[in-house]
Structure 1
Amino acid sequence: MNKKNITSLVPALSICAFLTLICCKNDTKKLEIKELEKTVYPSDIIPIFNNFKLVLGDGSNIGQPLNYEHKDYFYATTDDSGNWVVYKSPNGGNTHGTSKNTRTELAQTKKWYPNSANDKLTATLKVINVSTSGDATKAGAYSVVVGQIHSADGHENEPLKIYYKKFPGHTKGSVFWNYEINTKGDDNSGRWDYSTAVWGYDFSVVGNDKTIYPEEPQEGLEIGEEFSYEVFVKDGIMNLKFKSDGHEAKTFSKNLIVSEYTTKAGIPLQTRDLYSESGRDGIERENAYAGEGLFFKQGCYNQTNGVTTGGETYGGNIVKQYETGNYAEVWFKKASNYVSDEAVSNEGYFTKND
């Protein structure tokens, strides 16, 4: 099967090298970075954006972000390890679709079907910040989603969400991934996630009270610690790979077209414990996500908000949220996207949700 292969590359920037040689004062270095951000766009660093549309943390869809930046949400920067694309999203602001969470996130312009899929998304990234406020009893608090598979059809559920989560006062946070059931029937209110830990805890580990946190995960990743993921869907199977220096590489697989959650008895104990109070005990379609168009998302989908997870929003004041650490920020160094020839336009999803 022929594929369109769009890979990332990080170009050497002559202006950056030149200014680094001639600048030695701290205030001059700040001017250097500022000048770099004016002349280098995110699409110069990770050239996959012709396959995606970008939603900003204020809820707006700006389309394909070629030669584009927004200093509040999406821009280029550099550090000692190279050049990065910055995604930022506050706890409170205008949201996209039906979500209560803000996001600065790419959404794929084409959708593909898991039965015949041969599609891939990769990333190398580091999380710079998660919210400093939240309700520790809520599973989404203090976390950010950095990659997704989303359905464009049916209930528009999510067979994959890749998270980073760190509680206040902890040095290390957790990386985990969630599978959301594709609920059987017309009522999607019973949907739930099943979570799998990569490094540290899974989604179900929460505090005993709003301000009482679990113990710090011993095998977690620190803020600013680089890691990578690969998501490859082929012939109905989702294959995941995670890597980070100094940590054990992890691989996982999940069938997207045959469900293991078709009866109440098949609901995992983790799910029963986490969702017992909310009554979310639905079952999944026997063929899971078969027949539905799926697409990739990547970026900074902040899971802390002021409605359901107790985050501070200062009435939507973005400056105040950024000053107090009430936002999520993720830097991406590399990304690639492989699109199968069978993929078709995803414009219907954007029409419904914009």
Structure 2
Amino acid sequence: MRITIVAGARPNFMKVAPIIHALMEREKKGLALSFSLVHTGQHFDRQMSQTFFEELSIPEPHVNLGVGGGTQAEQTAGLMIAFEKHLLAHPTDLVLVVGDVTSTMACAIVAKKCHTRVAHVEAGIRSFDLTMPEEINRMVTDSITDYFFTTSTTANSNLLKAGVAERNIFFVGNVMIDTLLANKQRFRQPPVWEEVGLQKQHYLVLTLHRPSNVDEGQNLMQLINTITANTRGLPIIFPIHPRTKSIFQSLGALPENLHIIDPLGYLEFNYLVQHSKAVITDSGGITEETTVMGVPCLTLRDSTERPETVTIGTNELLGTGPKAIAEALGRLFAGNWKKGGIPELWDGKAAGRIVEQLIRLHA
């Protein structure tokens, strides 16, 4: 069985790493599985992509399509053109896509038009917010997928309601957590630890990248000022996404306790998360990692595609209103944050379940 694995952006690399490791283990045992890794080049900054291959021991991609940036339409078109050329030159039995980035949707469409089966890892998650590009990517990908690998029973339910046959849905757990647990002992201090003089549980980590939060300067500064005014002077470490960095350059003076740094590699970023007092974010994947690490998480969004991080984990969905943010930070500093638990099958073994299922499907 020939499998083509597609990865294009930072969140993808953490998801394909354990799957690749599981496939390599099966290959050593002589099982009839072979794979190739296609890097679409959607994230082309070294800190957004290449360092992950090195840190997570992922083999160099068999090909890098080098698509790069552009508008949503430009990037989607570029991905489809480049991947179609690759797939026609290198036929495969199955295209495996992960997550919800543009590469996921674009390459799934190309595969189906080339009459190739598609497997989607992290299928079925929904925010039901069509202003999010990722939600459209999820919906389109799942509408043409053949095999659905899910992280939760909620995702299973979403797929069943959409008319997906139950026999094609496989509840396997969360590959992001496979990567987290496999590398937890390897986390390492980033340079900012010494530069700022950080102490465990005495700083916060901030990540913002969603257009609704960062594309308008006044709105972004309101968020920043609300956060810094309610964190009791503790350092706030902000590894900044490239799209946000350009906006910050026009905002003028920033609060003294806000420390903006370049994007970090996986091992350094998660060291910061693990030892922080809390994380403030608009990301989805980070809410999964904080849940498993037991770190309080404040999500500046009105909806989430990972509701189990709220109902079971340490995450709370706050919206972006100053009053809700201030109130949540007040509870955090008063010691009133929930402890949280770990969702079912988030146990570090999801990739093995995926590969075993692929073997059964091929038999």
* Same-fold call, TM cutoff 0.5: no
Task: Determine which structure has greater relative contact order: mean sequence separation of CA pairs < 8 Å that are 6+ residues apart, divided by chain length.
Answer: 1
Q: Which has the higher strand share?
A: 1
Q: Comparing both structures, which one devotes a greater share of its residues to helix?
A: 2
TM-score (norm 2): 0.25
In the superposition, the TM-score normalised over structure 1's length comes to 0.25
